[in-house]
């Protein structure tokens, strides 16, 4: 049996505050990279389908397979499998910056499918009308598809950020820093219930704040439309 430890509230506050900052850092960077890669990938998945704007069955099949493989891998497995890539990209496998690599690669396939599904909800009549008036592919994408799908895309971004918070916590398994790492090193390994409870509460608060803000923005856009 382990010995249950306790610590001063000031020390606990500092630990949780620093870990929260690391988590926000990881999630912010991962969100940016996920959007930069996942959005165009999702658009490609949509327009290259058999009935897409520029059908390309072979490219669609390749992209779809890559995305499906990425989504099917458990994130813990992905964390371990990407250790060599993480070391090559960042120079280390420890710390918050290193954790951004697997977190981002785990989220990109998920967000790409969200983008594809959001674009699929756009009224086909509007797309056909723009094409009939001579609108090119780029014009259709940036004038019709993305603006019309914006509420669904923002809802997808909110869902993705919440998922990234969970991914950042699991990154603590390999020393990724943040609240997950704090829970493992100080809570689990040292049998400190104070740390475990504090990290759980902070993770719940982060998720609730992100979800609430995201829902309000989506509702605001929906009302304007």
Write out pLDDT tens, residues 101-142.
999 999 999 999 999 999 998 888 888 888 788 778 888 888
Cα gap 48→53, rounded to integer Å: 7
- The two tokens of residue 38 are 């996942």
Query: Is 52 a member of any domain?
Result: yes
Lowest mean pLDDT across 87-101, 172-186, 201-215: 172-186
CA angle 15, 159, 201 (to 5 degrees): 30
What mean pLDDT do residues 22-42 have? 95
CB atoms within 10 A of CB 172: 23
Query: Is 157 a member of any domain?
Result: yes
By the 10 Å C-beta count (0-12 exposed, 13-18 middle, 19+ buried), 30 is classed as buried
The pLDDT confidence band at residue 223, using thresholds 50, 70 and 90, is low
Query: Is 145 a member of any domain?
Result: yes
Query: Is 137 a member of any domain?
Result: yes
Query: Is 58 a member of any domain?
Result: yes
- pLDDT at residue 148 above 80? yes
Taking phi over 0 as left and psi of -120 to 50 as alpha, with beta for the rest, 175 belongs to left
The pLDDT confidence band at residue 208, using thresholds 50, 70 and 90, is very high
Q: At what angle do helices 9-47 and 96-120 cross, to 10 degrees?
A: 40
Cα separations in angstroms, 182 against 23, 97, 109, 144, 210: 10, 16, 28, 45, 21
Query: Is 182 a member of any domain?
Result: yes
CB atoms within 10 A of CB 84: 9
- 132-138 long-range Cβ contacts below 8 angstroms, 24+ apart: 137/47, 137/53, 137/54
Are 84 and 56 in contact by the 8 Å Cβ rule? The answer is no
Query: Is 42 a member of any domain?
Result: yes
Q: Which residue has the higher pLDDT, 7 or 2?
A: 7
The segment with the largest mean pLDDT, out of 105-114, 168-177, 178-187, is 105-114
Query: Is 1 a member of any domain?
Result: no
pLDDT at 15: 86
- pLDDT at residue 189 above 90? no
Domain that holds residue 127: 7-221
pLDDT at 3: 41
Q: Domain with 195 in it: what CATH number?
A: 1.10.3720.10
Instruction: Tell me what percent of the chain is helix, strand and coil, each rounded to the nearest 5.
Output: 80, 0, 20
Q: Which residue has the higher pLDDT, 4 or 117?
A: 117
What mean pLDDT do residues 9-36 have? 89
Cα separations in angstroms, 14 against 8, 175, 182: 10, 19, 11
Looking at the 3D structure of the chain, how many domains does it have? 1
3 state DSSP class of 176: coil
pLDDT in tens, 61-70: 999 999 999 8
pLDDT at 2: 42
Over the chain, what is the mean pLDDT? 86
Task: State the DSSP code for 133.
Answer: T
């Amino acid at each position: 049996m382990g010995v249950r430890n306790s610590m001063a509230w000031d020390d606990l506050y500092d630990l949780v505050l620093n870990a929260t900052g690391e988590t926000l850092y990881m999630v912010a960077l991962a969100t940016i990279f996920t959007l930069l890669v996942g959005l165009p990938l999702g658009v490609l998945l949509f327009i290259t389908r058999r009935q897409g704007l520029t059908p390309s069955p072979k490219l669609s099949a390749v992209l779809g397979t890559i995305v499906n493989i990425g989504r099917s891998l458990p994130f813990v497995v992905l964390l371990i499998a990407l250790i060599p890539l993480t070391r090559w990209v960042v120079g280390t496998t420890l710390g918050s910056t290193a954790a951004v690599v697997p977190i981002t690669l785990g989220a990109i396939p998920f967000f790409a499918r969200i983008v594809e599904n959001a674009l699929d909800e756009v009224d086909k009549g509007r797309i056909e009308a723009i094409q009939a008036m001579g609108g090119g592919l780029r014009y259709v994408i940036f004038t019709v598809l993305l603006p019309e799908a914006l509420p669904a895309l923002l809802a997808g971004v909110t869902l993705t950020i919440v998922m990234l918070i969970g991914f950042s916590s699991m990154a603590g398994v390999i020393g990724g820093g943040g609240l997950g790492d704090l829970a493992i090193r100080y809570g689990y390994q040292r049998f400190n219930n104070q740390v475990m409870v504090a990290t759980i509460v902070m993770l719940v608060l982060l998720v609730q704040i992100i979800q609430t803000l995201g829902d309000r923005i989506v509702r605001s856009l929906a009302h304007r439309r």
